[in-house]
Amino acid sequence: MQVFPYDRPAITTAGRYLVTGSVRTDTGEIRAFSLFVKVIHSYERSPLRFAVPEPLRAQAAALIPWHTEADLYRSGLRDRLPAGLTIPRAAAVRDLDADSAALWLEHIPARRVTWDIERHARAAHLLGRLAASRSVAPLATAVHGARTPRTYADTWLAHIVLPVLAGDEVWAHPLVRDAFDARLRRRLLAAAGALPALLDELDDAPTATAHGDACTANLLAADRDAVIMVDLGFCGRAPLGTDLGQLVLGEIQTGQRHVADLPGLEAACLPAYLAGVHAEGGTAGPAQIRRTHATLMTVFAALPSVPVEQLHDEPTPPRRPLFQTRAAIARFALDLLDDTTPSTRPSRTRHQAENLQENNVSGLVIPRGPIAF
């Protein structure tokens, strides 16, 4: 057994291991095997819990369903997924104690692929099929869908993000001042003011099955047309379109691709996702998906775009791309939110009129740079 190298720590993961060996079959044949073992545990056991402010830890524990992956691997999910989408086979799922379990999964060797526009669109189509799948839906309703927009807003945004945005100190920070101009500041504050209405919208939006963390790191390429989903800890019911935002923003947030690629990814993935929904019998229209997608990106990406976790670090030049890219993502999400807000809604009139005056409505200027989120 050896430790499996992985550079993305997760709060519910205690360890990842590769177990190799050989077995003798009933016929006497010797066969080699290779298994990936993932040990999951409760939030209370994770050292990463200390990154969350102490007053929020009890709330965070209730929102993080550490056992979801174990439940799903026991559930027969693999046999219900749409063609082209799968998960690793589970050789065994073993409870270690009341707060931890070990997942013994088939080892899928890493396959280096380029996540071009076409591969993103194919993944979006499959995630749309997952969302609307009637076969998968009963399993998704049985798991705890954590990180809902309202719980995220009531915890992280309300206690950590919005108080910072409401003050003057953050906007005087050199890197914030350089990336987040006065106009973007006003737009973010307007979105913060509209947050209760946006959350009401999302409460009323159709729900669907979502992977819950559908970045490309969690979507392994089996071949050009097939995708293997891993890291299912946040899988559950969520507003239709949840996985779309994660897929479009994921590689930009991690610095794997330029933020200038964002419009192209958006243009390819949104219709592909919708086509996947329709392939499974869903009836959502493009305007509905686009609006929910814009609202989700506003809540999860635009409002928390100021890197509050970096504000106390030395504002050195290497940190500048992070702030620039966060600001560009915020502009993109807010532009889409404005574009999908009906003109009859009062919340649109003030800041959209301002956008028309200051930006002549359309041109999105997106600087290049990585982001860690």
- Return the pLDDT at 51: 66
Residue 236 near residue 140 (C-beta atoms within 8 A): yes
- Return the pLDDT at 168: 94
- Rounded average pLDDT over 16-33: 89
List pLDDT tens digits, range 115-170. 999 999 999 999 999 999 999 999 987 665 556 899 889 888 998 899 999 999 99
Q: Greater confidence, 85 or 254? A: 85
- Return the pLDDT at 240: 95
Residues 6+ away with beta carbon under 8 Å from 210: 127, 130, 131, 140, 145, 234, 235, 236, 237, 238, 242, 243
Exposed / middle / buried, residue 289 (Cβ in 10 Å: 0-12, 13-18, 19+): buried
- Return the pLDDT at 343: 72
Distance of alpha carbon 4 from alpha carbon 110, whole angstroms: 12
pLDDT value at 84 more than 90? yes
pLDDT > 70 in the chain, percent: 86
> Sign of torsion, CA 143 153 358 349?
positive
Q: The domain 2-359: what is its CATH number?
A: 3.90.1200.10
3-class secondary structure for 250-271? HHHHCCCCCHHHHHHHHHHHHH
Partners of 38 in beta bridges: 16, 103
- Return the pLDDT at 354: 40
- Return the pLDDT at 110: 73
List pLDDT tens digits, range 187-196. 999 999 999 9
Q: Greater confidence, 197 or 23? A: 197
Sorting pLDDT into bands at 50, 70 and 90, what band is 108? Answer: confident
- Return the pLDDT at 313: 86
Residues 6+ away with beta carbon under 8 Å from 112: none
Residues 6+ away with beta carbon under 8 Å from 325: 252, 255, 259, 367, 368, 369, 370, 371
- Rounded average pLDDT over 364-372: 27
- Rounded average pLDDT over 46-56: 69
- Other Cβ atoms less than 10 A from the Cβ of 225: the count is 12
pLDDT value at 353 more than 50? no
- Rounded average pLDDT over 24-30: 87
- Return the pLDDT at 371: 25
- Return the pLDDT at 111: 79
List pLDDT tens digits, range 241-275. 999 999 999 999 988 899 999 999 999 999 999 99
pLDDT value at 91 more than 80? yes
- Return the pLDDT at 7: 67
Question: Whose CA is closest to 130, among 264, 250, 273?
Answer: 273
**Phi/psi-derived region of residue 279, left when phi > 0, alpha when psi is between -120 and 50, beta in every other case:** alpha
- Return the pLDDT at 257: 92
- Rounded average pLDDT over 208-233: 90
